[in-house]
A and B are shown apart, each in its own frame.
Chain A
Amino acid sequence: MSDLSWGLWGSWEETQACLGEVVGQWQGPDPVERGSIRRWLESKEFGAAAIHVDQQAAREAGYSDLVAPVSMVFSYGIKSYWSPGDPPQSLADEPTQIQIPVIFNVPAPCNKSFATMIEAEFFAPLYPGDSVNCTSRLVDIKRKTLKVGDGAFLRQQDTYVKQTGETVAVAHLDIFRFYAVAGEYADVR
């Protein structure tokens, strides 16, 4: 069993001070391109994907080029796990986690977390060559005690904008952060 814990430690007062604030902002490192789309489709056995792989089929459906699946905006918006200039990772380091600002940038007296809800509205297609940046805000805090421990639901709003200035998607993610005592992780959901 691992005792790995994660999240920025702090008081509930510090959590509250972040409400409404930008808690994360970065540029997705890679532009949209065929290879990443193909690999995303592959792991889902996503076969009816003409508009995602065939330029002509996409044009016949009203797009100017092949388009990425709408759900891929999240992947294109994830910051890199390592970039030139960053220090090398050592075996003693904790593994790099996906960047979720309400976990890693917002202080809270919590040592565990899990996602409970996500929703996203999509406003513009992503074409090859497009890249996105993501701005995250903490937009809601609801204190709650569940079986797994005392904590709070933190709602993160992510706005994805591409290089043209168009908003591609706006997503809301609910994360339950809590203080868990070792051995009390059963029945998390």
Chain B
Amino acid sequence: MSGDGALAQERVAVGQSIPEICIAITLQRLVMEAGANRDFSLIHHDRQIAVSTGASDAFANTFFLMGMFERSVREWLGPRAMIRKIGPLRMMNFNTVGDTLYFRGEVTGVQQGSQETLLDLLLWCDSERGRTTTCEVRVQCD
């Protein structure tokens, strides 16, 4: 199903699951991510500062989570899908060093137009500590 947006959207129906992806959160990954997304807030790479805010360790930032939700959608729907909206993205718990994050989702709406199809998706991120993040995404397909 992944890799071909046209093929994917023909088959899409409300309630359909979005394939799971996962990623391990290490301090090295958070440092790589900070360099890549330019958010150098200390809570995302400095354990001592992160702990002072109530987290158990340095934790992933909003940009990383948005990017992972974008990866979920892109891997599933392929290159022709146009991501129109990401969010609301709500953070309910920390995603910290030592967590393995599982990104999953489902289709919540399909609007078939004459030229294009709009898909509404609800995605979420789970870890050993439960659901940490939810995110809605709107995608336009040919």
A contact set with B: CB distance below 8 Å: 1-4, 36, 39-40, 42-51, 57-58, 60-62, 69-72, 74-75, 78, 81, 95-98, 112, 114-122, 148, 171-172, 185-189
Contact = CB atoms under 8 A, between A and B. Distances in A.
B68 interface: yes
A39 B35 contact: yes
Contacts, number: 135
Given A42-B36, A75-B63, 18 more contacts: A1-B52, A2-B52, A36-B36, A40-B67, A43-B29, A43-B37, A44-B64, A48-B2, A49-B74, A60-B79, A69-B70, A81-B40, A114-B53, A118-B62, A118-B88, A122-B83, A187-B54, A188-B55
B89 A117 contact: yes
B116 to A, nearest CB: 12
A44 B36 CA distance: 10
B32 interface: yes
B85 A119 contact: yes
Given A122-B84, A186-B54, A4 B91 contact: no
B3 interface: yes
B41 interface: yes
A115 B52 CA distance: 16
Interface centre among A3, A62, A120, A187 (most CB of B within 10 A): A120
B93 interface: yes
Contact of B85 (A40, A97, A120): A120
B89 A119 contact: yes
Contact of A48 (B67, B75, B83, B84): B75
A51 B3 CA distance: 11
Interface in B59-76: 62-64, 66-68, 70-71, 74-75
Contacts of B55: 188
Contacts of B36: 36, 39-40, 42-43, 75
Contacts of A46: 67, 71, 74
Nearest to B21: A45
Contacts of A57: 79
A82 B55 CA distance: 29
A2 B84 contact: no
B110 interface: no
A4 to B, nearest CB: 6
A118 to B, nearest CB: 5
